[in-house]
Structure 1
Amino acid sequence: MSTEQQPMQPENNKKVAKTVKKLMLVVFAMFGFGFALVPLYDVFCDITGLNGKTSNSAANVNADGIDESRTITVQFISRTAKGIPWQFEPMVNEVKVHPGEMKLVKFYAKNESLNDIVGQAVPSVSPGQAAIYFQKIECFCFNSQPLKSQEDVEMALQFYVDTELPQEVSTITLSYTLYDITGSVES
């Protein structure tokens, strides 16, 4: 019986080695796909307008005029990331705007800690398809916000909603999350 098993072992070893090679190839392919996923996701979101990402730079002033036949409700939400001891909130919770009309709203921030902190606000728009139509002229989110201990500030957001906003969108929610970036800012 042992003589019959010996001729089979080299054949089995070849099959096992071939299977291991295939599995290693799958592992490397999955690893590579994981690295490619973030840029692919960003491209997908740019094309489809999903994920509510807004531009990180100032838009041009609206030249298309104002569409007074429509009124859009723009809601503002703010939150702080875990661990940042700031008070951060919109000074108004919502405004009504006509597409093409420029609006100025302010947010309030106060560093309630005993240390100086640099904050960075990251915006998100909902529904995601509205993100490409929400145009920020001026925004505190374009720059980091250094605040000394117990210092407070009013921060401006000037925007308009593009007149090309799809008709089915009547409410846009702009959400900001404030992060502590003190450790990543050069002194």
Structure 2
Amino acid sequence: MTAATLDSRKNRTAIFAFLGALGMLGLGFAAVPLYQMFCQVTGFGGTTQRASKSDAALAERLGASAGAKTISIRFDGTTANDVPWSFRPEQVTDTVTIGQRDMAIYLAKNNSNETITGTATFNVEPEQAGAYFNKIQCFCFTEQVLKPGQEVRMPVLYYVDPKALDDPNMDDVEQITLSYTFHRALESAE
């Protein structure tokens, strides 16, 4: 094998290694949004569904035709360690009729002397309920900016899809927990 052929093979191997590393880096960055998209579509991992007002109206009609079955909803609110806010639900539990729209209110207060932008992550337990818990309006859809000492009420308009009544995995579910955690938004963490 000649030196030129050997150098050519080494260069080709280096290029493939570089492209492979670049591809892996790209997959690393794409993994989080792809996983979030998968969870939002399937309800996997307790991810709630986002619904329109027309979806909610249809669910109300379906829920009314299915009877007035109720379910308990528990609300939970926490903050990450670097978010000096008080954050909690106004009411810890509520009993709702499946298919009917309801509203929960969360209270947040910035206890620091600086303006902080936060974003909420959310989860539903048990996991199988995530596919049926639909949010129509939620503070988690946008970043929240609280000035020093500012206190706000943040509504969540939601419903539990009547399709949950047809799922055998939901038969023993008596309570659904909707949990939020506020984190600093990237631009306020810098």
TM-score by length of 1: 0.72
Provide structure 2 residue ranges, at least 5 long, that are not aligned to the other structure.
1-19
1:13-52 paired onto structure 2 within 5 Å: 38=32, 41-42=35-36, 45=39, 48-52=42-46
1:15-164 paired onto structure 2 within 5 Å: 38=32, 41-42=35-36, 45=39, 48-55=42-49, 58=52, 60=54, 61-63=56-58, 64-66=62-64, 67-164=66-163
1:62 alignment partner, SS class: helix
Provide structure 1 residue ranges, at least 5 long, that are not aligned to the other structure.
1-25
AA partner of residue 54 (structure 1) = T
Residue 35 of structure 1 deviates from its aligned partner by 6.3
Q: Which moved more, 1:48-57 or 1:118-127?
A: 48-57
Q: Distance in 2 between matches of 1:62 and 1:100?
A: 9
AA partner of residue 139 (structure 2) = F
Kindly tell me the number of residue pairs found equivalent between the two proteins: 177
Cα deviation 1:127-174 (Å, max 9, x = unaligned): 222212111121111221111100101111111100001355332111
Q: Distance in 2 between matches of 1:32 and 1:173?
A: 35
CA change 1:158–1:93 in 2 (3 A) is: same
Q: Distance in 1 between matches of 2:34 and 2:142?
A: 26
Greater CA radius of gyration, 1 or 2? 1
Where does residue 5 of structure 2 map in the other structure?
none
Q: Distance in 2 between matches of 1:158 and 1:53?
A: 16
Q: Distance in 1 between matches of 2:95 and 2:157?
A: 14
Where does residue 185 of structure 2 map in the other structure?
181
Residue 52 of structure 1 deviates from its aligned partner by 1.5
Paired residues of 1:57 and 1:142 also in contact (CA < 8 A):
no
Residue 62 of structure 1 deviates from its aligned partner by 2.6
Q: Distance in 2 between matches of 1:161 and 1:178?
A: 23
AA partner of residue 185 (structure 2) = I
CA change 1:89–1:58 in 2 (3 A) is: farther
Cα deviation 1:89-118 (Å, max 9, x = unaligned): 001111111111111110000000000111
TM-score by length of 2: 0.71
Paired residues of 1:105 and 1:157 also in contact (CA < 8 A):
yes
AA partner of residue 88 (structure 1) = F
Paired residues of 2:79 and 2:87 also in contact (CA < 8 A):
yes
1:108 alignment partner, SS class: strand
Residue 122 of structure 1 deviates from its aligned partner by 1.5
Q: Distance in 1 between matches of 2:24 and 2:118?
A: 36
Where does residue 7 of structure 1 map in the other structure?
none
**Identity of aligned pairs, percent?**
38
CA RMSD of aligned residues (A): 3.4
